[in-house]
Amino acid sequence: MEERNKTLGEFIIENQKAFQYSSGELSRIINSIRLAAKVVNYKVNKAGLVDIIGAAGEQNIQGEDQQKLDVYANEVFIQTLINREIVCGIASEENDDFITVQGSDNCHNNKYVILMDPLDGSSNIDVNVSVGTIFSVFRRITPIGTPVTSEDFLQPGVNQVAAGYVIYGTSTMLVYTTGHGVNGFTLNPAIGTFYLSHPNMKFPESGNIYSVNEGNYVHFPQGVKNYIKYCQREEEDRPYTSRYIGSLVADFHRNMIKGGIYLYPTSSKAPKGKLRLLYECNPMAFIAEQAGGKATDGFGRIMEIQPTELHERVPFFCGSRKMVEKAEQFMAES
């Protein structure tokens, strides 16, 4: 079969033996995410026609206003994963604490936990800009048969067995890795099937796009300010192009295809950064490294950070390897 005619289901079956732990559960997790993504995609695409845009009137654990679609996407992904009895625990950016999942036999025999940002960039929904879902999968470290604990979720990113994102844009794509490269699948909405459209995705070694919220420039560390000025200078292949969407998934996806760097540093307004290590940075770092890119906090590898809390925030520099290394150089010199 021609590679690009391959469906996500066929790809999962063919590559199941490549998973680190080949028991079929990881395949079922990806399949569950595929199903939930199709449900959320349907709602996203008709958001302007039904009463599902705007704020829900609640705040999440981070004190951010929850959008109606945030709440909806969170419920869809959680219920899909619980109903299929494949994971033993779920942590979501939208929930205060993790959820313990037990099977219909009241046992805790499943081996994986999943962490997710169910609708990244949801504040962009009202203005018809791309949003996404981000997920990260770990093998539990507490004994099978016991309820999960925070220890199962507070693992460094190097322990991830799978990570991915769904981008709901002009087309809907599911991009994921299980540690053997990165592959992207595009949804054919006419028949509800994801097809392999972007096999073996790779970050260009360098690029000419930098993505950062320059409105916060005055609050950034000096090293970041110096790097931004470097990007803007008329030298060699610069100035670079500034492109910032405000949806991490959309900015990351564009930079992986075209070549670029995404920066969300610390600032005087957000001294620890704004992005969450477990729900956003770790999964995106895993994808970036598997695609030949790099992800750091400005000084060290994101995936080697030992988390201490579920909603921990970290600065995030991610993208084409040479561009991230140059940004690190400016951070080290400042």
Of 171, 173, 168, 166, nearest to 135 (Cα)? Answer: 166
- Judge whether 102 and 83 are in contact, CB under 8 Å: no
| Dihedral class, residue 304 (left if φ above 0, else alpha if ψ from -120 to 50, else beta) | alpha
217 is in an annotated binding site: no
120 is in an annotated binding site: yes
**CATH assignment of 209-333, given 3.30.70.2190, 3.40.190.80, 3.40.50.2300, 3.30.590.20?**
3.40.190.80
Q: Is 209-333 the same fold as 8-201?
A: no
Instruction: Write the DSSP string, 16-67.
Output: GGGSSS-SSHHHHHHHHHHHHHHHHHHHHHTTTTTTT-SEEEEE-TTSPEEE
Adjacent-strand bridge partners of 59? 65
Give the relative orientation of helices 282-290 and 248-258 as an angle to the nearest 10 degrees: 10
105 is in an annotated binding site: no
3-state secondary structure of 173: strand
pLDDT of the chain, 334 residues: tens digit per residue: 456 689 999 998 888 766 655 567 888 999 999 999 999 998 888 765 555 555 555 555 555 556 688 888 999 999 999 998 899 999 999 999 999 998 777 788 899 999 999 999 887 877 888 999 999 999 999 999 999 999 999 999 999 999 999 999 889 999 999 999 999 999 999 999 999 999 999 999 999 999 999 999 999 999 999 999 999 999 999 999 999 999 999 999 999 999 999 999 999 999 999 999 999 999 999 999 999 999 999 999 999 999 999 999 999 999 999 999 999 999 999 8
Residue type, 133: T
Question: What does the domain layout of the chain look like in residue ranges?
Answer: 8-201, 209-333
Question: Domain 8-201, what fold?
Answer: Fructose-1,6-Bisphosphatase; Chain A, domain 1 (3.30.540)
Predicted TM-score (pTM) of the model is 0.93
**In whole angstroms, what is the distance from residue 126 CA to residue 251 CA?**
18
Of 223, 224, 222, 242, nearest to 232 (Cα)? Answer: 242
Position 231 scores a pLDDT of 98
Alpha-carbon distance values, 260 to 152, 170, 204, 286, 297 (Å): 33, 21, 8, 17, 16
26 is in an annotated binding site: no
93 is in an annotated binding site: yes
**In whole angstroms, what is the distance from residue 300 CA to residue 39 CA?**
38
119 is in an annotated binding site: yes
176 is in an annotated binding site: no
Position 24 scores a pLDDT of 78
Cis amide prior to 315 (ω within 30 degrees) = no
117 is in an annotated binding site: yes
3-state DSSP of 221-278:
CHHHHHHHHHHHCCCCCCCCEECCCCCHHHHHHHHHHHCEEEEECCCCCCCCCCCEHH
123 is in an annotated binding site: yes
3-state secondary structure of 188: strand
**In whole angstroms, what is the distance from residue 186 CA to residue 256 CA?**
16
240 is in an annotated binding site: no
Give the relative orientation of helices 321-333 and 222-232 as an angle to the nearest 10 degrees: 130
